[in-house]
Structure 1
Amino acid sequence: MPSLANKRILLGVTGGIAAYKSADLVRRLQDHGANVRVVMTAGARAFVQPLTFQALSGNPVHTDLLDPAAEAAMGHIELAKWADVILIAPASASVIARLAAGMADDLLTTLCLASEAPLVLAPAMNQAMWRHPATQANTQTLQQRGAILLGPGAGSQACGDVGPGRMLEPTDIVDGVTRSIAPAQVLQGKKVTITAGPTREALDPVRYLSNHSSGKMGFALATAAARAGAEVTLIAGPVRLATPAGVARVDVISTNDMLAAVERAADDCDLFIAAAAVADFRPAVVASQKIKKQDGNDSDVLRLVKNPDIVATIAARQVKRPFVVGFAAETEKVSEHAAGKLQRKNLDMIIANDVSDPQSGFNSDHNQVTIIDKNGELPLPAALKTELAAELVTRIAERAFPAN
């Protein structure tokens, strides 16, 4: 596990009852060797006094954007340059929204814009606020820019509600910050190809066959693999997601397009992760003009043909075969069907998940999966796809490259 010794952590504390936990967080960060400075918003000061954090950290607490005591009254620039990591705990819905919008209307948001340090957020808010589409969109935007989310947890809340939105416990946040500073380079020197998102099969110039895949899991895996030291090629179907930092992206539309791109990448690849939800069938004939509805005809027949099986094609290679990981998105008998695919397609590992659950299926930010390989089954607890991706990359690397 990487160390926090001598790391400079700038802790942002925002408004919310969870701010009381941040006092314990300061102490625990220091116990791991970190040097902590605290920035408090006006809302945070309504819950906890700055003197508490000053006494615990041994450093003055910063609250004002323009600090007359700072060099040239530009305290935010000094703090932005000082920090190795910016940790916001609790991160309220308000500060998440303002960061996503690129606002700089107080000291905390301003120094986040002025700093090149990694940004780590530990959200804390009412469960309805966390579930709101605006908050989900804002957190997704920040993650696409490289921010790391720790939590939130689920359980009873101060308002009496029960659900996701609790700030993680300080010990869990310390572990998350430690991993974010120096993630284990388990894929150092490896070339990894990952597919993500759906494919589209044209019916005519207007319509197509596809599925509900958002690409979030594949993009999270690409991010985690790059952070683990890999040279990553991400082959993406039509999705609206930003390219992860340090990742080479290839955009495709159809299954045949994706197969061609994968085969090119697989010629120089150590690990192939097939996370895309590939269309199994395509129309036998693609109409050159829009298909018109015929009056008096209440039904029609669409003839389909099978698409090539991308993951099975790569797994069947006799030369230049990478370690092959498939995904099985199932709605029933999840483990049984996934294990069958593992054997039938000659895969090295398969990741099974139940997409019938709206909390962990397509378009959700959460997922719950089971790893299946020759050693058996390993269920992983439900988590954010970003957190789950880091765990999966570690598990895959252990299996694919045991000598590393």
Structure 2
Amino acid sequence: MSVRDTDVERRGSSLSGKRILVGVTGGIAAVDTVRLLREMRRHGAEMLVIMTESAQRVITPLAVEWASQCEVITDWDGDMKQLEDVDAILVAPATRNTIAAHLHGMQQGPLLMALSAARSRDTHVLMVPSMHADLADDPVTDDIVERLREEGIDVLWGDLEEGKRKTPNHEHVVARFAHGINATAPNRKSVVVTLGGTYSPIDDVRGIQNTSSGATGYAIADSLYRHGHDVTCVVGKTSVPEPGWLPLCIPAENPSDMLAELKALANDDIQAWVHTAAVLDYIVESPAEGKLASQQGPLHVKLVEGAKHIQELKEKVRGSTRIGFKLETGIKQRDLIHRATAQIEHSEMTAVVANRLEDL
């Protein structure tokens, strides 16, 4: 199958069926608009783009139309499409001039008119400011941003780099935007996701560890977050980057530390638990202090059975949705199903995702 130059690979559905208005203002960060718009399409967004006059001096409307595959409004026109009802508005980059003008009800162009109409409709809006550090640190800017948030507008600042408050990367912006839109949908849940491997020390520099990159857990947490759920991750040892937009990731590499964190979280109102972490079945009974000397002949390490997290949590989280993950090797499919079913019954799981190592 041929692939067109404008095509994107779908990565998710968090913006599917959403009509999004994207405003591009005149900050130099507008050069990232092509990446941002293509990322929006990867998650299913249908867009209408409005560019301010100053934005058109940074990036051309032709490039924006290519990236968005939608109409790009650059000035007033008779159709007044900026007044059409949309599900949400994203302004990136958002200059201080645009932010202040919106707060004071100015109508200097189609974008400000669209924002004014959105305010009357209680439409979700995310603004992503981009400006020099001196402007960002101006107390007037703080006042403007505070007033935006009081109006219910989400404001996403980037990190301070090279004397500028730059916009976060396009994946971060789209994830935060999708979460903001979907957080008000029905049946949003508070969810805990465990992920990564766990580690039991032999001494201060050696240990045993389950093999797990954490990729599956992060992918699940990311999807849940983008669809509006309140996600907390409890993270063991991983080998893949943590999505920087996830709101809370608690490090817990040792099995006992992870269990302690989960028990503490169980005191909150958590509606769902997703256990993707590879928790050690056996841990070192008595870790040595310091570093054991090498070249001393065979080393005997006594392993003892560790706590089963899903079993330990059973009483504390009864009534919540609980998803487990189980990996086996060297067994037949029917035995895999039997063991997964036994785990569901014994630990009161809602479901278990079972795999054989040979099939991965």
TM range (shorter): 0.5 to 0.7
Deviation per residue, 1:42-84 (Å, 9 max, x gap): xx99xx99998999736459xxxxxxxxxxxxx9767998597
Residue 339 to residue 102, structure 1, CA distance change in 2 (3 Å): farther
What is the CA-CA distance between 1:314 and the residue it aligns to?
Answer: 1.7
* Paired residues of 1:270 and 1:322 also in contact (CA < 8 A): yes
Residue 292 to residue 3, structure 1, CA distance change in 2 (3 Å): same
Residue 209 to residue 147, structure 1, CA distance change in 2 (3 Å): farther
Q: What is the aligned partner in structure 2 of residue 289 from structure 1? A: 290
What is the CA-CA distance between 1:254 and the residue it aligns to?
Answer: 1.1
- Find out whether 1:327 has 2:325 as its counterpart: yes
5 Å matches for 1:3-402?
Answer: 3-5=17-19, 7-8=21-22, 13=34, 34-36=47-49, 57=71, 59=73, 113-114=166-167, 119=170, 142=171, 145=172, 147=174, 182-183=181-182, 185=185, 187-188=187-188, 190-239=189-238, 241-242=241-242, 244-245=244-245, 247-268=247-268, 269-295=270-296, 297=297, 299-315=298-314, 317=315, 320-331=318-329, 333=332, 336=337, 337-353=339-355
Taking structure 1 as the reference length, the TM-score comes to 0.47
What is the CA-CA distance between 1:7 and the residue it aligns to?
Answer: 2.5
What is the CA-CA distance between 1:244 and the residue it aligns to?
Answer: 4.7
* Paired residues of 2:324 and 2:353 also in contact (CA < 8 A): yes
What is the CA-CA distance between 1:4 and the residue it aligns to?
Answer: 3.8
Alignment partners' CA distance in 1, 2:232 and 2:68: 46
Residue 147 to residue 300, structure 1, CA distance change in 2 (3 Å): same
What is the CA-CA distance between 1:180 and the residue it aligns to?
Answer: 7.3
Deviation per residue, 1:363-385 (Å, 9 max, x gap): xxxxxxxxxxxxxxxxxxxxxxx
Deviation per residue, 1:310-345 (Å, 9 max, x gap): 012223x17755321111234455653534433343
Query: AA paired with 1:308?
Result: A
Query: SS at 1:234's partner residue?
Result: strand
Query: SS at 2:313's partner residue?
Result: helix
* Paired residues of 1:191 and 1:271 also in contact (CA < 8 A): yes
How many residue pairs get matched? 253
Residue 341 to residue 12, structure 1, CA distance change in 2 (3 Å): same
* Paired residues of 1:282 and 1:305 also in contact (CA < 8 A): yes
Aligned-pair identity (%): 19
Query: SS at 1:263's partner residue?
Result: helix
Alignment partners' CA distance in 1, 2:285 and 2:66: 70
Q: What is the aligned partner in structure 2 of residue 394 from structure 1? A: none
Residue 226 to residue 55, structure 1, CA distance change in 2 (3 Å): closer
* Paired residues of 1:102 and 1:113 also in contact (CA < 8 A): yes
Query: AA paired with 1:329?
Result: L
For structure 2, the residue ranges without an aligned partner over 5 or more in a row are 1-14, 25-31, 76-91, 100-110, 116-124, 128-158
Alignment partners' CA distance in 2, 1:113 and 1:273: 34
Alignment partners' CA distance in 2, 1:294 and 1:219: 40
* Paired residues of 1:187 and 1:229 also in contact (CA < 8 A): no
Deviation per residue, 1:235-291 (Å, 9 max, x gap): 212347446536233222311111111111112222121121111111122122322
Query: SS at 1:328's partner residue?
Result: strand
Q: Could you list the runs of 4 or more consecutive aligned residues of structure 1 that deviate by over 6 angstroms after TM superposition?
A: 48-56, 78-81, 83-86, 101-104
Query: SS at 1:7's partner residue?
Result: strand
Query: AA paired with 2:49?
Result: V
| Structure of larger gyration radius | 2
Query: AA paired with 2:262?
Result: V
Alignment partners' CA distance in 2, 1:343 and 1:208: 33
